[in-house]
Amino acid sequence: MGGGSWGVARRSSALWPMAVGLLLVGVTLGAAEETVSGIGPRLPEATATFPIGELVRGRAACQTFRALYPALAEIRVRGGSGGRRPEGPLVFRLWAEGVAEPVRTVTVEGAAIEGTAELSFRFPPIAGSAGRRWRFCLEAPEAGAGRGVVLWGAEVGGEAGEIDLRGFEGEAVRRARTLSFEARYALSPLERLLLLGQRLARGKPGPWGSPATYGVLFGASVGLTMGLLGWAARRDSQGGLG
């Protein structure tokens, strides 16, 4: 009984570094995910976003931006229907700079966005998207007044590009410099970690703080990994002798 209890205690004591190691890996992957998330609506916190108008028949909302990474696979736009079911489909088209025809077209039925606060347009990843300028447009060709989605914008542009509103009117339209949107990429966990490492190597802060924070995080992860490997080797060696 005593020997068995001691074995269980040893195994239990070895679980906590494994749990901490997994936690650190999860935190690191989370940081990598934040690093390659989109360029908007990650605007300065002091910048207010606001509704710019309803997307209905005869109107179009367009936005340019530069893709930061390869495998562009989704555009998310802040907008909603206020709990109503929008009338007809919402049509999303994406163009590459200098290309006349859209490279991706996504149609979303009104029933799929009823009551949502964010519009998502997913498409097959574009491998060579990094560094190129893109332009997308949203239209609701069948929606009448009061039956469309309300889009949101912000007063700052920067790397988010330029907004182009057609058929919209009002003070909010004059204030808006960008849609409130986010470009997302279909990258593997390894690709995300490599991009995070490149960013830190250039001295740029990660999403959760300074590069030094991630140096400590990576060092702790490596230390725990080596410790676990050593512990496993010693355990196998002792088991073989027994």
Angle between helices 2-35 and 189-201 (to 10 degrees): 70
Q: Would you list the domain boundaries of the chain? A: 14-36+190-237, 49-186
Q: Looking at the predicted structure, is the pLDDT value of residue 43 above 50?
A: no
Top mean pLDDT of 32-46, 72-86, 164-178 is at 164-178
Give the Cα separation of 114 and 109 in Å (integer): 9
Q: What share of the chain has pLDDT > 90, as a percent? A: 44
**What is the residue type of 136?**
F
Q: State how far the Cα of 19 lies from the Cα of 175, in Å rounded to an integer.
A: 50
pLDDT, tens only, 129-145: 999 999 999 999 999 99
Mean pLDDT value of segment 21-36: 49
Q: Does the domain made of 49-186 have the CATH classification 3.40.50? A: no
CA pair distance 138, 124, nearest whole angstrom: 18
The sign of the torsion formed by the CA atoms of 33, 38, 41, 45 equals positive
Say if residue 156's pLDDT is above 80: no
Helix (H, G, I), strand (E, B) or coil at 187: coil
85/91: higher pLDDT: 91
For residues 66 and 159, the answer to whether their CB atoms sit within 8 Å is yes
- In the structure, how many helices (H) and strands (E) does the chain have? 4, 11
The answer, yes or no, to whether residue 33 has pLDDT greater than 70, is: no
With a cut of 90, say whether residue 56 has pLDDT above it: yes
**93, 137 contact by CB (below 8 A):** yes
Question: What is the pTM (predicted TM-score) of this model?
Answer: 0.68
Could you tell me which of 80, 112, 105 has the C-alpha nearest to residue 91? 105
Please name every residue paired with 53 in a beta bridge, in sequence order, or none if there are none. Answer: 151
Average pLDDT over the chain, rounded to whole?
A: 77
Rounded CA separation 226/219 (Å): 11
Q: What percent of the chain has pLDDT over 70?
A: 60
Which tokens go with 104? 């991706």
Q: Averaging pLDDT over each range in 160-164, 174-178, 196-200, 208-212, which range is the top one?
A: 174-178
170 alpha-carbon distance from chain centroid: 31
Distance CA 171, CA 31 (A): 38
Bond from prior residue into 124 cis (ω within 30 degrees of 0) = no
